[in-house]
A and B are shown apart, each in its own frame.
Chain A
Amino acid sequence: MDLTNLTIKQVHQGLLKKKFSVLELTKLYLEKIKKEDKHINAFLDICENKSLEQAKETDKMIALKKEIPLLAGVLFGVKDNILVEGVQATAGSRILKNYIAPYDATCIKRLKKQGAIVLGKTNLDEFAMGSSTENSAFGPTKNPKDLTRVPGGSSGGSAAAVASNFCHFALGSDTGGSIRQPASFCGVVGLSPTYGTVSRYGLIALASSLDQIGPITKTVEDCKTIFDIIRGEDDLDSTSASAKQLIDSDIKTVKDLVIGIPKEYFIKGIDAGVLKLIKEAIKKYEKLGAKTKEISLNLTKYALACYYIINPSEASANLARYDGIKYGHSADTKDSDSLLEVYLKSRQQGFGDEVKRRVMIGTFALSSGYYEAYYLRAQKVKELIKKDFEKAFKEVDVIFTPVTPTPAFKIGERATDPLEMYLSDIFTVSGKLAGIPAISVPCGEVNGLPVGLQIIGKSFEDDKIIKVAEFLEK
């Protein structure tokens, strides 16, 4: 039995059958990371002592109580913009280089309660701004399938860690595609849940009206297990949705399914290999009895522009807190007595280029005289995009699209042109603006590079898209 390639379910069964102890498992994974992660750079920090300690405690508890919690012995990586008490949370930025989280995020609390163990913190684009993990202040992560290529982003470290079998699952955050796109590039499963289903408490804010934490896993089944634990109401998140709103899937077999294929997602510019795999995946569902229907999402063309107003605007407001006073990097300003100088220099030294770009674009879009032309207009277009999807979902159960137009690109290939990088998100931002759930599930490889199928669902029908994704895995 290869212990370094276990799913969550296999860990649980292995412990039940006493095939290994939690401590043995933890040591094995820590060793593997030490040996192999120098080539990948998926982790920014390894919680060696804490995880070994927790492993010993879990073994003791199992021996004493004779019962095994659902996630006992399950080892996971946490994107470094999610807080784990007593552990660093840099958000991939120099400005938070020495920041130690003073409390656990709600999702971390829930996972720990089930016995899961944090193995380490994973790399990301600075403050989750990017699609390649090249914007990290601590060096890029490599794609485990091809070390010359990016793992996607911004949750690139999390996706690479799961794909490298460094952990059983990882947490990511998705603001425009940051879970789904790296999951697609690395050949793992990634869920961006309905806005409001998973608490954002303890997630370092990027764009608060879009940010959502979600699981990155090896299988769809594992994805459901983790989602069921981290979802749910939280008094500490003012946009947390009532748990009652979540709808159980009514899909029993593929025959019940009507799949929408939006013509705007099958345009010129998509890699031929990607297109072929997506079409094959659709055919598989048709063979199993699903009906497909061509639909139109008219506003797809404008989604990216809309997103790149809302995201920087909210980011500029959220990142105003990094002022060099309360926490984080503070510039040496001994020869000045100006408070403004502390702000200006701390942020100049602490932020990378992409963060500076977005904070400035957002500041501009929100500034006096421009608010209506940019942010307010974008909010209205967002509402139209939502309506576009609502109309489509009157005719279909789920929507199938590619996650990205191409497989993983080369490191450095898009690093010099910010707009070129933004285009990586073209198929993932629309659903995000509508606040609806979407999952990326592997559907094959082009020249050894994984490709993901995106399954988009109605608001709060996260369960349904997970169920639909399971059919592909089988």
Chain B
Amino acid sequence: MISKEEVKHIAKLARIKLNNQEVLKFQKELSLILDYIEQLREVDISKIDLKKGLGKAQSVTREDKEIKKSLKQASKLMELVPDKKDNYLKTKQIL
């Protein structure tokens, strides 16, 4: 069973706020899931070289060049921004 502190730490890394009740609920549920996936330790993986396997699937790449998008496309994206000022998206102060 993972501790309450661990749940709080994971939630913070995951950027999800939890209240005390949720911490208790997820402590129980996450522990059950983690116990279940533990069984993967039984599998012998010593002979697997991932580099060989992954070599088969090839990524499609393109030239590292700017793709021109229309203003209309850009304004559609800006319409989705929750908070903006002068056509810039606005956030709280970072530094």
Binding site for B on A (CB under 8 A): 99-100, 102-103, 196, 233, 235, 237-240, 299, 302, 305-306, 308-309, 316, 320, 323-330, 333, 336-345, 347-348, 351, 356-357, 359-364, 367, 374, 376-381, 383-384, 386, 418-419, 422
Contacts and interface: CB of A to CB of B under 8 A. Distances in A.
Contacts of B43: 299, 302, 377, 381, 384
Contacts of A239: 57, 59-60
A309 B59 CA distance: 23
A336 B91 CA distance: 12
A363 B14 contact: yes
Contacts of A339: 91-94
The 8 closest A-B pairs by CB, nearest first: A330-B82, A327-B80, A344-B17, A348-B17, A102-B76, A380-B45, A363-B14, A380-B48
B62 interface: yes
B15 interface: yes
Interface of B: 7, 10-11, 13-18, 26, 29-30, 32-34, 36-43, 45, 48, 50, 53, 57, 59-62, 73, 76-77, 79-83, 89, 91-94
Q: Which has the most chain B C-beta neighbours within 10 Å: A360, A376, A418?
A: A360
A356 B18 CA distance: 10
A306 B36 CA distance: 10
Given A344-B15, A356-B16, A237 B30 contact: no
A357 B30 contact: yes
Nearest to B18: A348
Contacts of B61: 238
A360 B14 contact: yes
B2 to A, nearest CB: 8
B30 A325 contact: no
Contacts of B79: 100
Contact of B93 (A302, A326, A328, A337): A337
A418 B40 contact: no
Nearest to A86: B76
Given A325-B82, A325-B91, A305 B15 contact: no
A402 B53 CA distance: 29
16 contacts: A103-B73, A196-B57, A302-B42, A325-B83, A343-B15, A347-B14, A348-B16, A348-B18, A357-B33, A360-B7, A363-B14, A364-B30, A377-B41, A377-B43, A380-B50, A383-B50
A345 B53 contact: no
B92 A338 contact: yes
Given A102-B76, A325-B89, A418-B32, 13 more contacts: A238-B61, A239-B60, A305-B37, A305-B40, A330-B82, A336-B92, A344-B16, A347-B16, A356-B14, A357-B33, A377-B43, A381-B43, A384-B48
B11 A235 contact: no
B73 A102 contact: yes
Contacts of A345: 17
A340 to B, nearest CB: 8
Given A240-B60, A384-B43, A342 B48 contact: no
Nearest to A237: B60
Contacts of A325: 81-83, 89, 91
Contacts of A320: 15
Contacts of B34: 361, 364
Contacts of A99: 80
A342 B16 contact: no
Given A337-B93, A348-B17, A360-B16, A309 B40 contact: yes
A363 B77 CA distance: 28
Nearest to B73: A102
Q: Which has the most chain A C-beta neighbours within 10 Å: B60, B76, B94?
A: B60
Contact of A386 (B10, B53, B60): B53
A324 B10 contact: no
Given A239-B57, A326-B81, A327-B82, A356 B26 contact: yes
Q: Which has the most chain A C-beta neighbours within 10 Å: B7, B14, B48, B59?
A: B14
Contacts of B13: 363, 367
Q: Which has the most chain A C-beta neighbours within 10 Å: B7, B37, B79?
A: B37
A103 B73 CA distance: 8
Given A306-B40, A327-B81, A360-B10, A347 B53 contact: no
